[in-house]
Every structure is written in structure tokens, then in C-alpha cells.
Amino acid sequence: SDPDATAEFFRNLSINLADGLYKLMGSTDYSSSYTLYEDKLMASQYSSYSSKIYEATKLLNAKQDNYYKKFARMEKAMAQLNSTQNQLAGYFNTK
């Protein structure tokens, strides 16, 4: 019936409840006390990973192009070798 005592009771209850929730949330994987910081950190990490992926993709594409060019040169050389072998075989078979 005393308004000051009632207000004090609810004030203490809310403080204790907030402290208890803060301690409980701080010990779980679902803590949101640093959400703003974590969001900024995650955005920064996402940007960093995106840049790394982009650079790695460029490097991979360059290496892939290089290997395709080498393979094409090898196929051309093998075709020339096969042609030369066929010509030589033709010369030796006719004599």
C-alpha cells in the first residue's frame, strides 16, 4: 500500500532481472549484448572475404587460361609429330 515501497520493489526486481538476464545471455552462444559491434565486424569480414575470393578467382582464371594455352600448344605439337611420323612411315614403306 506504500507507493514508494512498491516502486522500490519493482525497481529492484527490474535491476535483478536485467542483471540475471545479462549474465545468462553472456554465457550462451546467443548473446546479443554486442550485436552492433558483431554486425560491423561481420560486415568487415564479409567484405574482406569477398575481396579475397575475387582475387583468388582472378588468379584461378589466369592459371586456367595458361593451362588451356599450354594444352593447345601440346595438342598442336602432337598433331605435327603424328603428321611427321606418318610421312616417315610412308617413305620407309615405299622403299
Amino acid at site 43: A
Question: What's the confidence (pLDDT) of residue 22?
Answer: 74
Domain positions in the chain: 1-33, 34-95
Report pLDDT digits (tens) over 56-94.
999 999 999 999 999 999 999 999 999 999 999 988 886
Length of the chain: 95
Q: Name which residue leads in pLDDT, 83 or 24.
A: 83
Report pLDDT digits (tens) over 27-48.
555 555 555 567 778 888 999 9
Q: How far apart are CA 54 and CA 58, in angstroms?
A: 6
Q: How far apart are CA 60 and CA 54, in angstroms?
A: 10
Question: What's the confidence (pLDDT) of residue 34?
Answer: 55
- The answer on pLDDT for 26 being more than 90 is no
Contact 7, 14 (CB under 8 A): no
Backbone angles phi, psi at 29, to 5 degrees: -80, -5
